[in-house]
Structure 1
């Protein structure tokens, strides 16, 4: 099988398209690059959707934490504190216990929007259950970032908005929110990068993959086990994530320039990648 044929057979295997059986012997670099790259589809899926939903919730949580009303402020503070204070892997474990193990043991759970029973299927799969964990985790971290930026909005900007007669939603949409995003964006970029890296934990979370197809680390572990050589497959995974990080930095850099387009070049904040070694 040529490399082109390998790409055709395994390029979309992670989403159920192409060959169902994995290669068993005579592994080639093309097979490893293709299958691990196929698994990256799921890592990108987790990262992109968690960022989109997390961004919305993070904005709401930041506004809630800044609220003078205790009934709104306290839940937001505890949401951020609990999810930032506990390890992400433990959150995966607790979610797996809630979504999978307890219903299987006969303990039904009512979440309000759905009722978890032994027959509940969608939250027990990685595409949904693991996504919920990543979404909530990044919303907590991003919410704290947005809250800090919200507190840093210059009072002069707010006073100018008041002078122009802007109030309520109009003031927030045209002055407070854009300024908050501009101040928070460099730190939020680092959070987005870390989130994509954190998607590798889905492999260890226990959530079953859709149709038994896995993410990048799933295929890397398969090749490492079969070849007894982890020094090929895992560096390939690292290379893919380096490329993904460059894409994220490029996209977020364009957004950052858009947010700061009204400032003089010397006053514009620049995005600097600062990896989080401990979280």
Structure 2
């Protein structure tokens, strides 16, 4: 089998497209690169959706944590403490065991049966845990930035007549994001790396459709040589991490575009000859 045929058969196998069976013998370098790269699709899926939903939830938790009302501050502090204080691996395990205990036939709500079996799949249950975990860490970052917003900015907004949601949306929240973004970039990188624990913990890989680390472990077990498959997985993650850093760097420059040195200056080049 040529490398081109291998890519055609296994490039999308992790999402159920292509060859149904994994290679059984004669494991080539092309097969390892292709399947591990195919598994990276799931890592990107978990990272993208967890960051998107976790970002929204983290903002709400940060505001609730800074609230003067105990009924909002108490649950936010408890949520952040629990998910920051317990290991992510155990969170995956507890979540899977709890979801498995749900009735297979579904849960009856007002005479309507709500299916629950899909929640035990990694694409749903694992993603849910990642959202909650990153929301807790990000909320702590955003809360620290929220507490560091200069009082002069808030007083200037009050002087302009801004109050409530308008002041938060136009003054407080943009400043909070500028202060929190470097630390939030690190959290995004950590979350992306943490996606390798989804199939490594309690959630099983349905029909051997796993992430990059799942296929790297498969080849390491079959070839008894972990010094090929794992470096390949690491190389994929390094490349994806560089792309993530570049993307978050662009956002950071966008947030700080009003500061000196953040936007490239346009060089003046006089036209000598027409």
Tell me whether the two structures share a fold, i.e. TM-score over 0.5: yes
4+ aligned runs moved over 4 Å, structure 1: 108-111
1:17 corresponds in structure 2 to 17
Structure 1 position 83 matched with structure 2 position 83: yes
Q: Secondary structure at the match of 2:102?
A: helix
Contact 1:47 1:196 in 2 (8 A): yes
1:132 aligned onto 2:128: yes
Which position in structure 1 is the counterpart of 2:7?
Answer: 7
Whether contact under 8 Å (1:127, 1:209) holds in the other structure is: no
**What is the RMSD computed on CA atoms of the aligned residues?**
2.1
Structure 2 CA distance for aligned equivalents of residues 23 and 120 of structure 1: 33
Could you tell me which residue of structure 1 aligns to residue 39 of structure 2? 39
The two structures have a TM-score, normalised by structure 1, of 0.89
Shift of 1:27: 1.0
Match of 2:57 in 1: 57
- Structure 1 distance, partners of 2:81, 2:119, is 25
- Residue 199 of structure 1 aligns with which residue? 195
* Residues 182-261 of structure 1: pairs in structure 2 closer than 5 A: 182-261=178-257
1:109-145 per-residue CA deviation (whole Å, 9 max, x = no partner) reads 899xx988xx622110000000000000000000000
Rounded to whole Å, the distance in 2 between the matches of 1:208 and 1:147 is: 35
The 2-side partners of 1:29 and 1:158 are apart by 58
Instruction: Report if aligned partners of 1:138, 1:195 keep a CA contact under 8 Å in 2.
Output: yes
Unaligned ranges ≥5, structure 2: 263-274
Asked whether the 8 Å contact 2:107–2:116 carries over to 1, the reply is no
* Alpha-carbon distance between aligned partners in 1 of 2:72 and 2:225, rounded to the nearest angstrom: 53
**Aligned to 2:227, what secondary structure does the other structure show?**
helix
Structure 1, residues 20-67: CA drift from partner, whole Å, max 9, x if none? 111111111111000000000000000000000000000000000000
State whether residues 36 and 212 of structure 2, in contact with CA within 8 Å, keep that contact through their aligned partners in structure 1. Answer: yes
Structure 1 residues 93-120: Cα deviation after superposition (integer angstroms, max 9, x where no partner)? 11011111x226x8x8899xx988xx62
Alignment size in residue pairs: 261
- Matched with 1:168 is 164
- Taking structure 2 as the reference length, the TM-score comes to 0.91
Q: In structure 2, what is the Cα distance between the partners aligned to 1:49 and 1:170?
A: 28
Shift of 1:210: 4.3
Question: What is the CA–CA distance in structure 2 between the aligned matches of 1:97 and 1:109, rounded to whole Å?
Answer: 17
2 CA distance for matches of 1:115 and 1:51? Answer: 31
Structure 1, unmatched stretches of 5+, are 267-279
